[in-house]
Amino acid sequence: MESAERRITRRTFLDYLLGAGLLGLAGIVLYPLTRYLIPPKVTEVTGGSVIAAKVGELAPNSGKIFPFGGKPAILINTPDGQLRAFTAVCTHLACTVQYRPDLAHIWCACHDGHYDLRGQVISGPPPRPLEEYQVTVKGDNIIVSRKG
């Protein structure tokens, strides 16, 4: 009886060893796989500034979308001729906003969000105002950079 019990113990021990080995193997295979599946962070081009447009390119009461740090941004020339730039990513569900000359403000087509010429929400679902960027004119170029 005793020897039979001992044999079972040894067998169980080997089973555990085999199980642990297989578990280890599964870990060795699955760990790199799961890490591989998670996309790496693409370093955003931040802090820099871009040439958004040439001086005179934008008539008053119009806007232009341009890439800024890998995301769309919008440069607008207000009806009274002031240049302003904002992120063009709507704070609601990240659609790209546009300038509506007929309304003379920024509008998001996806869910009818309205922003005024300072990026503040007028109406619609957007929870926050659009981030405003710094606009400087250097010679012929309209340069947009992050504030601060």
Partner 1 sequence: MAEERYGTWQRWSEERLRLRAIVEFLRHKTVPIHRYSFVYYFGGITLFLFLVQVITGILLLLYYRPSADAAYESVQFIMSKVRFGWLIRSIHSWSANLMVGWVFVHMFSTFFYRAYRRPREFTWVSGALMLFLTLAFAFTGYLLPWNKLAFFATKVGTEIAGDVPLVGKYVMLLLRGGEDVTEATLSRFFGIHVAILPALATVILGIHLALVQVHGMSRPISVRAEREISFYPDFLLRDLAVWILVLALLGTLATLYPWPLGEKADPLAPAPPGIKPEWYFLFMFQTLKLLPSKIFLFEGEMVGIMAFLVGGLVLLLVPFLDVWAQREQQNRWVTTLGILAVAYLVIMTILGLALPAM
Cβ-contact 103, 114 below 8 angstroms:
yes
Question: Which residues lie below 8 Å from residue 42, measured CB to CB, with a gap of 6+?
Answer: 70
Could you identify the residue written with the tokens 């001086």? Answer: 55
Tell me if 24 contacts partner 1 by CB under 8 A.
no
Tell me if 27 contacts partner 1 by CB under 8 A.
no
Q: With DSSP H G I counted as helix, E B as strand and the rest as coil, what are the percentages for the chain, rounded to 5?
A: 25, 35, 40
User: For partner 1, which stretch binds (CB under 8 A), given 39-47, 54-62, 70-78, 112-120?
Assistant: 39-47
User: For partner 1, which stretch binds (CB under 8 A), given 9-17, 32-40, 98-106, 135-143?
Assistant: 32-40
CB of 9 to partner 1, least distance (A): 23
CA nearest to 108, candidates 145, 65, 79: 65
Q: Which of 8, 25, 55, 137 binds partner 1 (CB under 8 A)?
A: 25
Cβ-contact 107, 113 below 8 angstroms:
yes
Closer Cβ to partner 1, 39 or 47, answer by number: 39
CB of 33 to partner 1, least distance (A): 7
| Structural tokens at position 131 | 């981030």
User: For partner 1, which stretch binds (CB under 8 A), given 38-46, 82-90, 96-104, 130-138?
Assistant: 38-46
| Contact residues: partner 1, CB under 8 A | 25, 28-29, 32-33, 35-40, 42
